[in-house]
Amino acid sequence: MKPIASMEIAAARKPQEFVCTYYFKGRRYGLNILAESMKDASSHLRAIGTTGSVEGTLAATIPVAPDARFLQCAKLAIAILVGGKTA
């Protein structure tokens, strides 16, 4: 676990989205990784190979927008995830 001070410094930096590719059974695939640098992105990619796991399928993508539609989408998503009312 990182000390709190280094976590605060890391949080202050704005990560960039790096595009990564890999080959599997003769086909090329890609994924995006949020990292602070190209070197950091490479470290993340190596960590995926050694410690990564499949958690499941993506259930939904909720757009983030600073308007009322976002709040409606968020409430609906929470209701669906916890099995509550959607109205």
pLDDT for 14: 84
Q: Which stretch of DSSP H or E encloses residue 34?
A: strand 27-35
Task: Return the SS3 of 51.
Answer: helix
pLDDT for 5: 55
Decide: 84 and 76 in contact? Cβ < 8 Å: no
> What distance in Å separates the CA atoms of residue 18 and residue 39, rounded to the nearest whole number?
11
Give the percent of the chain with pLDDT over 70.
74
Low-confidence ranges of the chain (pLDDT < 50): none
Residue 2 pairs in a beta bridge with: none
Decide: 46 and 33 in contact? Cβ < 8 Å: no
